[in-house]
Amino acid sequence: GAVVSQHPSWVICKSGTSVKIECRSLDFQATTMFWYRQFPKQSLMLMATSNEGSKATYEQGVEKDKFLINHASLTLSTLTVTSAHPEDSSFYICSAWDTHTGELFFGEGSRLTVL
C-alpha cells in the first residue's frame, strides 16, 4: 500500500538552532499534506495544512514564522522549526492525502528534542 515516509525519525538539537523535517509520499502524488504535533501523553493537534505550490494554512495559535512549511513538489513537504527551544520538543507527524484513492496516510513521525 501507499507509504508516507518522514525523516529524520528522531533529532536532538541545541536551543536556538533550526531543524528541518521531511515528509515524502513514496508511491503517490500528494497535493495536500498535513502536519501534526503531539506532546507526551497528549493528542495529535493539527498545526497546518500544506498545499503543493501555495502557502500553507496554519491553525490558530501556530506561529507561521516559527514553523516554516514548504511543499515544493507533489511528493515532498518540509517542516522547519526555526530557532528551536525546549518547549518545541515534541513528536511531529505528517499525513498525506491521496486524491486518486481518497485515502489519508500517516508518516512514522519525527521526535524532536531540543536541549
Binding segment toward other proteins, per CB under 8 A, in 19-27, 41-49, 60-68, 74-82: 41-49
Q: Could you say which DSSP state residue 33 is in?
A: E
Cβ proximity of 111 and 12 under 8 Å: no
Looking at beta carbons only, is 16 or 103 nearer to other proteins?
103
Looking at beta carbons only, is 45 or 76 nearer to other proteins?
45
Question: Which residue among 19, 93, 112, 114 contacts other proteins (CB under 8 A)?
Answer: 93
- What separation, in Å, do the N-terminal and C-terminal C-alpha atoms of the chain show? 37
Question: Which residue among 43, 60, 61, 86 contacts other proteins (CB under 8 A)?
Answer: 43
Cβ contacts of 104 within 8 Å, gap of 6 or more: 95, 96, 97, 98
Question: Which residue among 11, 46, 62, 76 contacts other proteins (CB under 8 A)?
Answer: 46
Radius of gyration of the chain (CA): 13
Residue with cell 491553525: 59
State yes or no: residue 113 binds other proteins (CB under 8 A). Answer: no
| Strands 10-13 and 110-114, sheet pairing | parallel
State yes or no: residue 58 binds other proteins (CB under 8 A). Answer: no
* Positions that interact with other proteins (CB under 8 A): 32, 34, 42-46, 49, 91, 93, 95, 97, 99, 102-109, 111
